[in-house]
Amino acid sequence: MRVIRFLEGGEPRYGAVEGDTAYPFAAAPWDDPVPAARGVQVAGLLLLPPCSPSKIVCIGKNYRGHAKEMEGAAPDEPLIFLKPPSALVASGEPIVRPRGYERVDYEGELAVVIGRLAHRVKREEALDYVFGYTCFNDVTVRDLQKKDVQYTRAKGFDTFAPIGPCIATEPDPAGFTIATRLNGEVRQEAAAAEMVFDVPALVCFVSRVMTLLPGDVIATGTPAGVGNLRPGDVVDVDISGIGTLHNPVIEEEWER
């Protein structure tokens, strides 16, 4: 199943997509798994981020190739940090590049969407807590990531969390292939199976630190090949079996 979120009469609504039609749910699909029988045309809908998380948990250096290009090694246990939900934008919305920084990088990632309250879950049961998967771009001001002790500023600007276009309720996260294209040219390409810590390990680990709520997001880390975004660029994060997260880049209007 493919799940999108969109505006209907000014209200956000989830819908199950089949072909060119979205069948709305009365509530979030993890609470109400049966969509309405009558659908609406997907074309013309204003797409929202496909979930509304209480928190976005990101994983750092979860691919050896990326850890190496950051001049480090993969960590012994998952490295986690938070991005604020205020940074979320949907597929199609612009990434606003803050002025005055050398490197504002794209980081294409597979994101996990939680479907059940998860507190100290066992690794063997972790996938039961996953609702599905979507595409994510962990946009980062690299200058600030190096300068600040915390990643909060580097990763927390408005529009720095593009997500979508849909949630795929696929059973096997290891089968996904992630590709990031900058202006149509492939810059990152990796199998999710290359992750240092896989999805069950991440859900288990994070849920032993903080309770995960339905709709929460875990962004599972980026492969090698990160690079700078400039105003006028378009960046696509494409994951086999999910779809393409597409975002143009614009420059912020004000001086910093």
Contacts with Mg ion, residue ranges (CB under 5 A): 107, 138, 222
Least distance from Mg ion to the Cβ atom of residue 183, Å: 21
Least distance from Mg ion to the Cβ atom of residue 255, Å: 28
Least distance from Mg ion to the Cβ atom of residue 121, Å: 23
Residue in 118, 98, 104, 121 with CA at minimum distance from that of residue 53 = 118
Residue number, 40 or 69, with CB nearest to Mg ion: 69
- CA-CA distances (angstroms) from residue 51 to 126, 136, 254? 20, 12, 30
Least distance from Mg ion to the Cβ atom of residue 207, Å: 20
β 243-251/95-97 pair status:
parallel
Q: Name every residue whose Cβ is closer than 8 Å to that of residue 172 and which is 6 or more positions away in sequence.
A: none
Residue number, 222 or 247, with CB nearest to Mg ion: 222
d(CA 244, CA 92): 10
- Our measurement of the distance from residue 225's CA atom to the centroid of its chain's CA atoms, rounded to an integer in Å, reads 17
Question: What counts of helices (H) and strands (E) characterise the chain?
Answer: 4, 20
Show the CA angle centred on residue 180, arms to residues 56 and 241, nearest 5°.
Answer: 75
Least distance from Mg ion to the Cβ atom of residue 137, Å: 9
Residue number, 121 or 218, with CB nearest to Mg ion: 218
Please report the beta strands in 49-148, taking only residues with DSSP state E, as ranges in sequence order: 56-60, 79-83, 88-89, 95-97, 104-106, 108-114, 130-137, 140-141
Show the CA angle centred on residue 98, arms to residues 219 and 7, nearest 5°.
Answer: 55
Residue number, 107 or 198, with CB nearest to Mg ion: 107
Residue in 165, 127, 116, 163 with CA at minimum distance from that of residue 15 = 165
Residue number, 178 or 249, with CB nearest to Mg ion: 178
Residue number, 91 or 222, with CB nearest to Mg ion: 222
Least distance from Mg ion to the Cβ atom of residue 240, Å: 20
